[in-house]
Amino acid sequence: MTIEHDLSHYLLHLGDNALIQGQRLSQWIGHAPALEEELALANVGLDLIGQARHWLEYAAERLDDGRDADALAFLRNERELRNLLLVEQPNGDYAVTILKQFFYDAWHFQVLHGLSTSSDARIAGIAAKGLKEVTYHLRRSAEWVERLGDGTEESHARMLAALPKVWRFTVELVNASDAEQRLAAAGLIADPLEVAAAWRAKVADVFSRATLPLPEPASPFYLDGRQGLHSEHLGLLLADMQYLPRAYPDATW
């Protein structure tokens, strides 16, 4: 594998993460627990889909095979998407949604922080802009983990019930691929070991303040979002998301 191949796939990974997380957030709109949350969820979703667009545009340029960002988002199937398994999981109740968001944000923050000093100026630029947004996302989701963990008995119980549904997918946040090791060695992306360590520290800190027990590190299992080996949830999500471009292939929207 060439570094160029690694890089374009990594850009797809970043774009797909933000896109699928944004898609899940947009399913909440109209159904959130408070008006302020409607606003916040839409706001975070908007940021992430905006970031997805930037990463996919750059991926399209590097791939240079005639596809644009929209083709990459709407015309790849579930074996071609490279998002983390975590972000494709169903929203569940607000405890599940908040835990997914927090684990992703804590990881995303570290990833973008590292990418903002990438030797590729374009990557550094996109990451620096995204980092400002994700700083807010992380503050918000960490606060909600605390509120729900250290809120009422019911909210605490719901967080405990949500944790096993979400935790096992965090294995992907701390186990980087070989390609990512190569990209990091080339100075193009953040060092995955540093990202993982910082992620663990952040989760431990917030969980302690949220009076939540920190589980043992999750074990690897036999799926891999980076390689397009997804859970059964992604296919349905894409069927919904891609239906118009698939049904009207010649259309201009």
Partner 1 sequence: MYAQLVETGVKRLKTLDEMDAQERAFQEKIDAEIKIEAKNWMPDAYRQTLIRQISQHAHSEIVGMLPEGNWLTRAPTLKRKLQLLAKIQDEAGHGLYLYSAMETLGADRDTEIAKMHAGKAKYSSIFNYPTLSWADMGAVGWLVDGAAIVNQVVLQRTSYGPYARAMVRICKEESFHQRQGYEMLLTMMRHGTQAQKDMVQDAINRLWWPALMMFGPSDEHSPNSAQSMAWKIKRQGNDELRQRFVDQTIPQLELLGCTCPDPDLKWNAETGHYDFGAIQWDEFYEVLKGNGPCNAERVATRKQAIEDGAWVREAAVAHARKHHNKNAA
| By CB under 8 A, residue 27 contacts partner 1 | yes
Residues 147-186 that bind partner 1 (CB under 8 A): 147-148, 150-152, 154-155, 158
| By CB under 8 A, residue 46 contacts partner 1 | yes
| By CB under 8 A, residue 1 contacts partner 1 | no
Burial of 162 (0-12, 13-18, 19+ CB in 10 A): buried
* Closer Cβ to partner 1, 49 or 112, answer by number: 49
Structure tokens at 222: 């036999």
Task: From 28-36, 110-118, 130-138, 222-230, give the range in contact with partner 1 by CB under 8 A.
Answer: 28-36
- Interface with partner 1 (CB under 8 A), residue from 29, 185, 193, 204: 29
| By CB under 8 A, residue 50 contacts partner 1 | yes
| By CB under 8 A, residue 250 contacts partner 1 | yes
| By CB under 8 A, residue 39 contacts partner 1 | yes
- Chain positions contacting partner 1, by CB under 8 A: 19, 22-23, 26-27, 29-39, 42-43, 45-46, 49-50, 52-53, 56, 69-70, 73-74, 93-94, 146-148, 150-152, 154-155, 158, 240-241, 243-245, 248, 250-253
